[in-house]
Structure 1
Amino acid sequence: MLPENVNDNLNLLDPIPSSELQEFIALRDLPLGKHKLFQISRVASPVGHACAGSSSKDLLQTFMDYPVGGLCPDDSDLAQTLMLQGCEPLPRRRCFARSPNSSSDPLPFPACLWSLPPDNAILWTHYACKNFSCLGRHSSSSIMGCDSCLDLDKEKHRWVSARDDHDLVIHGVLAMKRGGLRIGLDLGGGTGSFAARMREMGVTIVTTTLDVGAPLSSVVAARGLVPMHVTISQRLPFFDNTMDIVHAEDIVGSGSMPAESFEFLVYDLDRILRPGGLLWLEKLACSYEMLQTVYVPAIDRMGYERVRWSVDSHNSRHVFLTALLEKPVRS
């Protein structure tokens, strides 16, 4: 039986968990209050909490109320709410996913990389907008947390040439890495433009994304790329020492990730990177104090070589760290 209060989640674990496990599963308040996109004020880990809280339990009951063998309810927002509350991974269901209206084949490679799919190739039913034109009339930052994600003409020029002294370009990163890059991960990759650019360079990138206000995962897939529906709280589903590169752009949400959660995240990124692999942090936004007291010490404890390190401090509210770091060999 599930406990009524999420704070009772430790009762699910017998014997009493170690101090490190308690540290990982503790609920943490976001330093800057409620997140403007996800409308959450606390970060929950998927281990231990699962769906134990009373609010999650009610949502889970709704999520699992469906016609067996029929069409699944149109409840993607409900699924993501559960995931963001720590109910991750979600349980399997015995119902069929709804299909978009279009049954036409997607565009072939490489035309698919820089083309949006037709509106009728996407399920829009649970979004305020019902087509890409509508999304284009809204502020991208308020809908998805990314600037011009769906303007692929603009996105196509990113990472090709530096916009300022703090930018890294893909050709330069590839040239820096002896032995080349083959496979990698893009955390919170929006519509997949980083993965598209890297695929043109012969590098396969998996993109994690949430459908926040727009069908980002469908766009990633339509571009011939691989979307992965996980939050950054989950242990990444990759083997140890496998990835050549991990790219993360402003993944901590303008300084709103608790310090302890950030440290668990970077250790997990280290776990999946192979020795000599690259961790590319792009425009990690935070206050100058958090940069010096939280993020830099956490990164330095990893023992990575600073291939590139740049802090843009011209913004009055935040500084932005862009870093290219190489994982050491440990024995």
Structure 2
Amino acid sequence: MGRSCFPKCKLARIMGWIQIILGWLVILVSLLSLTRFYSAGFFVHNEGICQHFYNVRDVSDGFDVKSLSDRVGEVIDKLETLQAKLESKKFLKDQIVRPFHSANVALRRVRVPKVDEGMKSAVKEDHVINFFITEEIRKYISPKENRVGKINLYGADKVYNTIGHACVLYKKELEKYMDYDIGSYCDDDWNLAQKLMLNGCDPLPRRRCLTRASKDYQKPHPIHESLWRLPDRRNVRWGNYQCRNFECLSSQNPKRGYSKCIGCFEMEKEKLKWVSNTSLVVDFLISDVLAIKPGEVRIGLDYGIGSGTFAARMREQNVTIVSTALNLGGLLWIDRSFCYRKNLEDYMYMFLQLRYKKHKWVISPKSKDEVFLSALLEKPPRAI
């Protein structure tokens, strides 16, 4: 047993010494490698070494890196300047221009000394104009002199735009409604307009901004198909409503979000109105009404709440029901409108501001100083 153990122990010793020697060799090689890396400059920043190992010139031959860097720097400088200008403009508008304008209006409202009796007819102070601060309201209600500078048939030398008498009671809301960028898109503030009108600020001042349309406007159905057919839901802006289609407006839906004109968009019920007898004595038939003036009624005006079915029924009786709104795709016909030749560019600029599509545009001389303008324009869909 002793003889057999001796060779095994000797072999184990030899293997152990070999492992120790190999370990020392690995340590020695590692130290030598670290020494060479250090001498080559890998652990100390050396510009020459960087240029030797990372030669940019070899990669970018024929490409002016410095010019590109300068150009990028110029763009960044311009962006910073533009940002500073925008911030300065906003600061000037909010912190300086508005307070100065408010102070100017307040000074105008200060009572001035009484004028002589002979000058009272020439000097007229309009307190309503000075009551408002927003410039668009002041311009709208300010009197406009007649185009030819003469007194008209009724003795007036100016034209006055009208607003509702209760508008002065809602000064803050009206100024918010009239605070917009001229020629830009109007704010989606129909709820604010409804609040003003329902509280007596009706009519509202006209705005010089562009109305919004639906984002995916579709052409309307042909006239013979549209009388008893719901329009495409994509032609309606549903942003301020709970519903997103006409089916949601059914009287059977308790979550439709409104209580007026219940069932107005249910065509099967609408078809029975004004043509069939009901149990209510207050319901008149169209045939009975038109029979009072047979063959004489040609045009009518419907300003009640509804979905247009009354106009459809009246059209079947050759009676046109008028609407004051110009729908998308509608035509604006300007027939022989005349103006001074020197003012023609101003009128053309005003029409261009509407961004209507031109179908016809003709200018013809009327006299030495005046011209005729006839045009056929189409209202476009404006979606943003």
TM-score (norm 1): 0.45
User: Larger relative CO (CA 8 A, sep 6+): 1 or 2?
Assistant: 1
Structure with greater proportional helix content: 2
Q: Which structure has the greater CA radius of gyration?
A: 2
Q: Name the structure where strand makes up a greater proportion of residues.
A: 1
